[in-house]
Structure formats: structure tokens, C-alpha cells
Amino acid sequence: DTGVSQDPRHKITKRGQNVTFRCDPISEHNRLYWYRQTLGQGPEFLTYFQNEAQLEKSRLLSDRFSAERPKGSFSTLEIQRTEQGDSAMYLCASASGQATGELFFGEGSRLTVL
């Protein structure tokens, strides 16, 4: 399967713990996005990478959230000191270099903070 893959698919953690999600995009895609989605809502933009450069980060994102894409391939999203409000589906998407390229989403990582 050459689609976008995310790991883990599900994560249950206690409030205050740190969690990390990984995303492997489609290999030839140089653009990578992280979104967060809660029930009944559309995906909310978190951050965007072009190759290894993080070009935009949502102003809604607190300092507890950090994302990296060290070699321009896979990416990680870390949430420090998790809060119950962080419970959501974290979606990764990749796209080709075309400015109008569609997003290809992974299956998501569902986070539950107890």
C-alpha cells in the first residue's frame, strides 16, 4: 500500500502525559499537513511542511504542540502535557508540489485523554 500511513491508530493516555504521532506520506509528495478533527466538525489546520521546512503553524496551536519533518519524508506530531481537550482525531495528509494538488489523507490517529 503506497498511501499515507499513520501510527498509532489509537492512543489512550492520562492527562499530563506526552504523546507522539508519526506520519509517513506518499513518497513523492513534498507537502505534508497535520489536521485535527473532532466529532461533527471538519478538519482543523494545525501545520504544514514543504519538504523539511515548516512553513505555517496555526495560531490556535499552543506551545504544547510541536511537529517535525527532519528529512523531508516522515513527520512526527508531539503533544506535551496532554489535556482532555486534546482528545480528537489527528489527521495527516500529503500532496504533490502542484499548488492545486488534492490532499491525500491517512486514516488518522485517534487520541483519548483521560
Partner 1 sequence: GQNIDQPTEMTATEGAIVQINCTYQTSGFNGLFWYQQHAGEAPTFLSYNVLDGLEEKGRFSSFLSRSKGYSYLLLKELQMKDSASYLCAVLNTGGFKTIFGAGTRLFVKA
Q: Which of residues 7-66 bind partner 1 (CB under 8 A)?
A: 31, 33, 35, 40-45, 48, 50, 55-56
* Helix ranges, 1-114 (H): none
- The candidate with the shortest Cα–Cα distance to 20, out of 104, 80, 99, 98, is 80
Residue with cell 505555517: 56
CA angle 1, 47, 84 (to 5 degrees): 95
DSSP lists the bridge partners of residue 65 as 79
- The candidate with the shortest Cα–Cα distance to 49, out of 87, 97, 82, 86, is 97
Task: Please choose, out of 8-16, 17-25, 70-78, 96-104, the segment that lies near partner 1 by the rule CB under 8 A.
Answer: 96-104
Asked whether position 105 contacts partner 1 by CB under 8 A, the answer is yes
Neighbours of 44 (CB within 10 A): 15
Asked whether position 69 contacts partner 1 by CB under 8 A, the answer is no
Kindly state the smallest distance separating residue 35's Cβ from partner 1, in Å.
8
Kindly state the smallest distance separating residue 64's Cβ from partner 1, in Å.
22
Interface size with partner 1, residues (CB under 8 A): 24
The amino acid at residue 79 is I
Cβ distance to partner 1 smaller for residue 80 or 87: 87
**Which residues would be at the binding site for partner 1 (CB under 8 A)?**
31, 33, 35, 40-45, 48, 50, 55-56, 91, 95, 99-100, 102-108
